[in-house]
Structure 1
Amino acid sequence: MVARIIKHILNFLALLLVLPAWVMVVLEKKLGLGIRVYLFWAQFLAQVPGILGSFLRRAFYWLVLPQVSWNCEIGFGTFFSRPWGIIEKGVYIGPYCIIGQAILREGSLIASRVSIPSGRRQHRRDPTGKILPAEHGSFETIEIGPHAWIGEGAIVMAKIGARATVAAGAVVTRPVPDDCVVGGNPAHILRRKTFKA
C-alpha cells in the first residue's frame, strides 16, 4: 500500500517536471512546425539515467502519445522517433531502442537495441533515383502482439502476433503469426508453439 502511494507521488512529480516539454510539443504541433521540438525532448529524456529517467520518460510519453499505461518500463537511451504510439499495461522496452509508430500490446517484451521503424517504405526515390526525405514516405503503424517477445538487436518492420518470439538479430519484413518463433534475415518461421490455457 505504501509502495503504491509512493509510486503515485513519483508519477505526479514526474508529470510536473515534463509539463514544460509537453507544452512546447503541443505548441509545435498546433503551429504545424514539424516534430523537431518533440524529437529534442524525446532524445533528451532518453538520456536521463536510473529511476528518475524511467519516471520522466513514462510521464512524457503519457502526455504526448495517444495511450500509455503507467505500468510500463521504457529503458535508458530509448525513444519514439514519431509522436504517435500506444504502450499497454505490462510492456517492457529495453535500453537503446528506437521505435516509430507502434502499438505495443499488453505484456510485450522488447529487448535492448531493437528497432521498430514505421514500416518498410519511409523513404522513396524520385524519378531520377534520388532518395526523398521521410515526409514523402509512407509511414505504417507496427503492432507488437500481447505477450510477444522481441530479441536483442532485432529490426521489426511488420506486425508481430500474440505470444510470438522474434530471435535476437532477426529482420522481420513480413507479418509474424501468433505463437510462432521466427529468426534470420529475412525472418522466417523456425517453429510454432502450442500454449495451454
Structure 2
Amino acid sequence: MSEKEKMLRGEFYNSRDEELIKVYHKARNLLDIFNNCKSNEMVKRGKTLENLLGFKGKGVWIEKPFYCDYGENIYIGENTFINFNCTLLDCNKIKIGKNGLIGPNVQIYTASHPLDSYERVGNIENGGPYRTYANPVSIGDNVWIGGNSCILPGVTIGDNCVIGAGSVVTKSIPDNCVVAGNPCKVIKSIGGKND
C-alpha cells in the first residue's frame, strides 16, 4: 500500500514520501500562480483552481491568498465562496457542499498527530518524520462558517448550519444548527423560512 493510500485511509503515513512530495510541489506551484493573479484575470484564476482542486463546482469563488497542502483532495460544490486567507490542510478529503459561505481566516484541518510525545516523534529515531494521520472533513450544503473559525479533523457539519465567528469545531454538527464557541456548542436549531 502506498503512503498516499495510507494517508487517505486515515492510517499513519510518511508525509515525506516521494509521491506525496510531487503532489505537494504541484500544489505549491499552482498556489503561487493563483495567489499572484490579478483580480481581473478570471479565466486564469478559474483554470488554475480547476488544475489544483479535486473538484470545483460552477460559480465557486475563492479569494486570495488561499493555502492548501495538496489541493487534489478538496471538493467544492457550486456557488461556494471562500474569503481571504483560508487554509485547508487536505491530507485527507475535504468536501464542501454547494452555496457555502466561508469567512476570512477559516482553517480546515484533516491532519493530526498522536498526543503522546514518544509515539508522535519516536519514528524519527528510525529515520522517518513525526507520525501523522488524517481524517476527512465534510461540510454540507448552505453552510456559513464565520471568520477565524477552525474545523478539526474528522468533523462533519450538516446542511444549513451557521458556525459563529471564532468557533473551534471539535465534533460533528447535525443539520440546521447555529453553533459557536471554543469548543463550539449548539446555540439553537434553525430551518424555518423566517430564521
**Aligned pair partner of 1:164 in 144, 161, 165:** 161
DSSP-derived class of the 1:89 partner: coil
- Per-residue displacement from partner, 1:166-189 (whole Å, max 9, x unpaired)? 000000000011110010000001
1:91–1:107 contact (8 Å) kept in structure 2:
yes
**Aligned pair partner of 2:145 in 144, 150, 173:** 150
2:63–2:82 contact (8 Å) kept in structure 1:
yes
Work out which structure has the larger RCO, using CA pairs closer than 8 Å and 6 or more positions apart in sequence: 2
Is structure 2 residue 29 aligned with structure 1 residue 37? Answer: no
How much identity, in percent, do the aligned residues show? 20
Shift of 1:143: 1.0
Shift of 1:58: 3.0
What's the TM-score once normalised by structure 1's chain length? 0.73
User: What's the RMSD between the two structures over aligned residues?
Assistant: 2.6
Larger deviation, residues 40-49 vs 179-188: 40-49
Superposed, 1:49-68 pairs within 5 Å as 49-52=38-41, 55-68=43-56
CA distance in 2, matches of 1:39, 1:107: 25
**Larger fraction in strand:** 2
Is structure 2 residue 114 aligned with structure 1 residue 127? Answer: no
- What is aligned with 1:191? 188
Q: 1:88 to 1:130 in 2, by over 3 A?
A: same
Q: 1:41 to 1:171 in 2, by over 3 A?
A: same
What's the TM-score once normalised by structure 2's chain length? 0.73
Q: 1:87 to 1:41 in 2, by over 3 A?
A: same
DSSP-derived class of the 2:61 partner: strand
Structure 2 residues without counterparts, runs of 5 or longer: 1-17
